[in-house]
Structure 1
Amino acid sequence: MLTGDARSVAENISQMLHLDEVHAELLPDQKVERVESLEKEKSPKGKLIFVGDGVNDAPVLARADVGIAMGGLGSDAAIEAADVVIMTDEPSKIATAVSISRKTFRIVWQNIIFAFAVKVIVLILGAGGLATMWEAVFADVGVSLIAFLNAMRVMK
């Protein structure tokens, strides 16, 4: 945890959240230094996420791979610098956002694979003289409609 709060407050919070490491009473530039050192330690495929809500967090939110601002009581500078804004001050919404993004990613790939498969099949049938104009229309418009309906599943 990187915070500008007093050490006693930071340690109390870290104990409640069972955090391994706490850095308290940091100024914005010190937070950026810590994030840059964490950036060097992470794996090449790893992502560094920083969550903040104040003006002092804006530089770090911009520096992190993914900056998440808490928008309920967050400052305008933090909201502007962040990649993602949670409109309530509930950190549990971050897990919900990650879950939705993973589901969206899977559905997008399903749509891409389905669209290519149908178009390749119709292209091969068309080259062999077995596909009519109606199959070509389905391969274009029908697949788009099915992909749209498939994408609607994200809303569940």
Structure 2
Amino acid sequence: MGEGGTDVSMETADVVLMADKLQQFSHAFSLSKMTIKNMKQNTYFAVAVVFILLAGVLGGAVHLALGMFIHEASVLIVILNAMRLIHFTQKSRDTSGNFQITKAKRINT
């Protein structure tokens, strides 16, 4: 682990640890699961807004310019939802079985 890996193994590996800290792997795994969940939320929300606006525009209930404004606002909501991952903290169990929250750590590259 650490800096002892060869270039070939680093290129072909799915995950490369750049330091001897296995807690970072656990954090990266939890962060990837939350990223997938966040991507699904954003996709469902964006598609729902588009369908609602399309139905409103075709039905004459929503003016085209207002529909474009609402769509751009929904894009900003999706971006803000994705930015929640910046402050992601990992929940882990301590020895007594209780959950504790650990600080988000940057993975050094």
TM over 0.5: yes
Specify the code of the residue in structure 2 equivalent to 1:103.
M
2:62 is the alignment partner of 1:131: yes
Count of residues paired in the alignment: 87
Question: Does residue 86 of structure 1 match 2:28?
Answer: no
- Residues 122 and 135 of structure 1 are in contact (CA less than 8 Å); yes or no, is this contact kept in structure 2? no
How far the C-alpha of 1:75 sits from its partner, in A, is: 2.5
Partner of 1:103: 34
Deviation at 1:127, TM superposition (A): 1.3
- TM-score normalised by L of structure 1: 0.51
Separation in 2 of the partners of 1:77 and 1:142?
Answer: 45
The answer for unaligned runs of 5 or more in structure 1 is 1-69
Which residue of the partner structure matches residue 154 of structure 1?
Answer: 85
Q: Please say if residues 71 and 87 of structure 1, whose CA atoms lie closer than 8 Å, have aligned partners that are also in contact.
A: yes
CA–CA separation in structure 2 for the residues paired with 1:130 and 1:75: 62
Runs of 4+, deviation exceeding 4 Å: none
Tell me, in whole angstroms, the C-alpha distance in 2 between the residues paired with 1:84 and 1:139: 40
Note the aligned Cα RMSD (angstroms): 1.6
**Identity level (%):** 38
| CA–CA distance in structure 2, aligned partners of residues 93 and 73 of structure 1 | 18
CA drift at 1:120: 0.8
**Cα-to-partner distance string for 1:5-57 (whole Å, 9 max, x where unaligned):** xxxxxxxxxxxxxxxxxxxxxxxxxxxxxxxxxxxxxxxxxxxxxxxxxxxxx
User: Which 5+ residue runs of structure 2 have no aligned equivalent?
Assistant: 88-109
TM-score w.r.t. length of structure 2:
0.70
Aligned to 1:144: 75
